[in-house]
Amino acid sequence: MDGQLKNRSGAIIVVVGPSGAGKDSVIGYVAQHFSGRADIDFVRRVITRPSDAGGEDHESVATDEFDARLETGDFAVAWQAHGLKYGIPREALERVHAGRILIANGSRGALAQFRQVFPKVVVVNITASPQVLAKRLVARGRESEADILRRLQRQAPDIPDAADATTIDNSGPLDIAGSRLVALVAELQGTVQALCSAARQT
């Protein structure tokens, strides 16, 4: 990709963090705030999880179908976690190249893929205190207490120190963390607009 095309591109915000940190809730807050905006969009992931399992709105597929789509290049980024497979549809890359800001629920272990594939990546690490994480995981009801303890004891991959990474604590009221992400999205959208305008004038 040449520099001029890259300047005309948008960006993807990859939201990561431990289970129970409230990534879906924060993303939902942002989606409501920017509802109706054509330049700010959200990624619907493909997951080998039943559609009625709760949580985010996703495209549910069987493992065989996921593997076949991965083989044919349907995913821009794909990874495995907690016994499931996750995919970011390739059309998300097309939307970024069209100048949009995309927001995706990602994975810390897949950040290298995102950075390799997308022209501009901003990482948002949603965190919460261990007590809050445990309480939310219990309320979710997807795992046994023993499974939850094992999940919390696992050492998650660190977020590399980088200019593109921001940490937001979601231990408190949702509107606090949500407003922080809204502000980050708005700032990034302004930067992308300025770059696109400069590219059109060259």
* CA-wise closest residue to 185 among 195, 173, 193, 196: 193
> CB–CB of 54/142 below 8 Å?
yes
The identity of residue 201, as a single letter, is Q
Residue 22 labeled ligand binder: yes
Residue 23 labeled ligand binder: yes
Residue 21 labeled ligand binder: yes
Residue 24 labeled ligand binder: yes
Task: Cite the beta strand spans of 65-192 per DSSP E.
Answer: 75-81, 84-89, 101-105, 121-127, 165-169
Return d(Cα 92, Cα 94) in angstroms, integer.
Answer: 5
Return d(Cα 25, Cα 27) in angstroms, integer.
Answer: 5
Residue 54 labeled ligand binder: no
Residues marked as binding? 17-24
Residues marked as binding for ATP? 17-24
